[in-house]
Amino acid sequence: MAELGYRVLGVEHKSVPPAAWGMTAREFLSTAPYLDEFATPVLTVDRAALESNLAVMAEWAAAAGVRLAPHGKTTMAPQLWAGQLAAGAWGITLATGWQAQVGRAFGLTRILLANALVDPVGLRWAAEQLRRDPDFEFLSWADSVATVRQMERHLPEGTRLPVLVELGGPHGRTGARSVEEALDVAAAIVRSERLELAGVGGYEGALAHDRTDGAVAAVRGYLDELARLHRELSGRYERPAIVTAGGSAYPDLIVERLAGLADEQGAHGVPTTVVLRSGAYLIHDDGFYSGISPLADPSAGPALRSAMHGWARAVSRPEPGLALLDAGKRDLPFDEGLPVPQRHSGGEGVPPGAHVSALNDQHTFLRWPGGGDVPVGSVVRLGLSHPCTAFDKWRLIPVIDDADAARPRVVDLLHTFF
């Protein structure tokens, strides 16, 4: 991890000032740079919000009696993974064999792959890692007997790869579509000489997208089926069991329905660890997650808050009530809601009614019905939605001391691996 500080900055690092090219990250940070030294557009992470979110989620999970294996694919930033582990995370979740290889290269000792690993290259890599290091723990998923057969086909003899049975739901994503189908998958794993049954898992977020009564009922019903699957398998586990669900949008429902299964000492049956794979909490947002997460309500206690912002400069005022900013789809997320203008240069608020109506590849359409102004050359701070599709657009992300400061200072640089 320390070696990241010695990476040389260059033209491949979007928006880093040319004066920093040729410096190492450490050398540049030693100059105590300000954010306004960076070109626009730029994505930033707020250090104070980041540290607060880390503590809020760690304390909430501990009080609920569940473990955290944050989904590392959200940021693909090993520096942030290290902070999550230092705050007590049980492990790190990843989504592909390559992402797992990145995690292992940065020293991860427990990786939960929230996906089926059927790629021959990835399977052979995982087997070799397990062979080399008895202390390394790697868990994968399977949602069909065909998946089990494919894994067996490519794993070398002598491998014992822990596998969780994945339960899905109607119109969901992956996952066996019923408990009965999932039991068949578990039976195939138990029969395997190269796999071992390690638990059950799934993703409730594929079945709902809001907090309406119907959505909450669908999530609860799914989690109840996941709990039933675990109970049905209690006599077949070959090792301590894991029960895992997502947890970025519905962590409260997971705790409500699954936390009671936690029994890490095996006092009431098979030793069981309940794991949340929440990925978005660390960065949070000013869009989708701020509207759906129960941990975003400050009236209920310490709350998550957005740690990311986009900063874009007005480059054109072609007609009244319209400014074009120099950020677009290549720079900012847009799949879970468009950016929200929050203020512009000098700490001023944006004109009343200001909103983003569209994003092109390299332009943001900022509109307002009347009054106020966003002059050419002014910089607009934008609230963003969905950290998963924000970080993947940046190889290097400046961490600032305070996004609300009149002149934020850059205190760190996050390296991403996408």
Using CA atoms, how far apart are residues 198 and 52, in angstroms rounded to an integer?
A: 33
Average the pLDDT over 168-183 and give the result: 95
Residues 137 and 237 in one domain: yes
Q: Is the pLDDT of residue 171 over 80?
A: yes
Distance (Å, rounded) from C-alpha 336 to C-alpha 386?
6
**What is the residue whose two structure tokens read 């104070």?**
48
Express each pLDDT in 283-333 by its tens digit: 999 999 999 999 999 988 899 999 999 999 999 999 999 999 999 999 999
Residue 88 domain-assigned (yes or no): yes
What confidence score (pLDDT) does residue 170 get? 87
pLDDT of residue 326: 98
Residue 61 forms part of a structural domain = yes
Same domain, 125 and 236: yes
One domain, residues 14 and 110? no
pLDDT of residue 131: 96
Asked whether the predicted pLDDT for residue 47 surpasses 80, the reply is yes
Instruction: Report phi then psi at 359, rounded to 5.
Output: -125, 130
Let me know whether 410 and 266 are in one domain.
no
The verdict on 84 and 117 lying in the same domain is yes
Domain tally, the chain: 2
Q: Rounded to whole angstroms, how far apart are CA atoms 142 and 131? A: 21
What is the gyration radius of the CA atoms in the chain, in angstroms?
A: 23
Tell me, yes or no, whether 297 lies in a domain: no
Give dist(CA 33, CA 47) in Å, integer.
Answer: 15
Tens digits of residue pLDDT in 239-297: 999 999 998 999 999 999 999 999 999 988 899 999 999 999 999 999 999 999 999 99
Same-domain check for residues 125 and 37: no
> Within this chain, do residues 228 and 359 fall inside the same structural domain, yes or no?
no
In a domain, 299, yes or no: no
> What pLDDT was estimated at residue 4?
96
Average pLDDT over every residue of 79-87:
98
Q: Does 23 share its domain with 63?
A: no
CATH number of the domain where residue 365 is located: 2.40.37.20
Question: Which pLDDT score, from 0 to 100, does residue 300 have?
Answer: 82
Asked whether residue 293 is assigned to any structural domain, the reply reads no
Instruction: Identify the pLDDT of residue 21.
Output: 98
Convert the pLDDT of each residue in 102-155 to its tens digit.
999 999 999 999 999 999 999 999 999 999 999 999 999 999 999 999 999 999
The arithmetic mean of pLDDT across residues 73-91, rounded, is: 98
Query: What tokens were used for 408?
Result: 């934020």
Residues 100 and 227 in one domain: yes
Tokens of 283: 């960065």
Q: Is 84 in the same domain as 134? A: yes
C-alpha–C-alpha distance, residues 114 and 140, integer Å: 7
Range of the domain at 246: 48-283
Question: Do 95 and 109 sit in the same domain of this protein?
Answer: yes
Q: Which two tokens stand for residue 281?
A: 């909490």
Residue 346 pLDDT greater than 70, yes or no: no
Q: How far is CA 43 from CA 58, 115, 124, 206, 272, in A?
A: 25, 29, 37, 28, 40
Mean pLDDT of 4-9: 97
**Element holding 93 (H helix, E strand):** strand 92-94
Residue 220 C-alpha from the chain's centroid: 22
Q: Is residue 294 part of a domain?
A: no
Contact 306, 383 (CB under 8 A): yes
pLDDT at 347 over 80: no
Q: Is residue 114 part of a domain?
A: yes
What is the average pLDDT across 3-19?
97
**CATH code for position 232:** 3.20.20.10
- For residues 253, 221, 142, 113, the Cα torsion angle rounded to the nearest 10 degrees is -10
Of the pLDDT bands very low, low, confident and very high (cuts 50, 70, 90), residue 198 is very high
Q: How confident is the model at residue 238 (pLDDT cuts 50, 70, 90)?
A: confident
Same domain, 249 and 352: no
